[in-house]
């Protein structure tokens, strides 16, 4: 599969270090015990973090369609941050 990144999405890619920072900020506010399946938890965390970075960095025009958002999430964000989110989710295994 070929991924096409638009110029506006490239500006978001340049801020991926901020995405990691915002992800760390949001993880404590999403209780893994409230989610039966990891993929549900990951989807919520990724979507909230993406919304936060788009708002705080004033990147509201990065995506033109919802399909672009989904493609970026599935092909860029999940591969980059899945390990960190999974680690946090799994750390609650004994607690839940």
- 1 within a domain of the structure (yes/no): no
Domain residue limits at 77: 7-90
According to DSSP H, which parts of 31-77 are helical?
38-56, 66-72
- 95 within a domain of the structure (yes/no): no
CA nearest 42: which of 9, 1, 87? 87
Number of domains in the chain: 1
- 2 within a domain of the structure (yes/no): no
Full-model pTM: 0.81
Residue 81 neighbours by CB under 8 Å, 6+ apart: 19, 20, 23, 46
Residues 61-77 have a mean pLDDT of 88
- 96 within a domain of the structure (yes/no): no
User: E-assigned strands of the chain?
Assistant: none
pLDDT digits (tens, 9 = 90+) for 9-32: 666 777 778 899 999 999 999 999
- 23 within a domain of the structure (yes/no): yes
């Amino acid at each position: 599969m070929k991924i096409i990144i638009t110029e506006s999405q490239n500006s978001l890619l340049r801020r991926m270090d901020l995405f990691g920072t915002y992800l760390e900020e949001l993880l404590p506010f999403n209780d893994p015990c409230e989610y039966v399946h990891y993929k549900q938890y990951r989807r919520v965390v990724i979507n909230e973090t993406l919304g936060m970075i788009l708002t705080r960095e004033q990147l509201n025009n990065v995506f033109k369609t919802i399909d672009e958002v989904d493609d970026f999430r599935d092909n860029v964000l999940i591969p980059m941050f899945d390990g960190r989110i999974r680690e946090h989710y799994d750390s609650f295994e004994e607690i839940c």
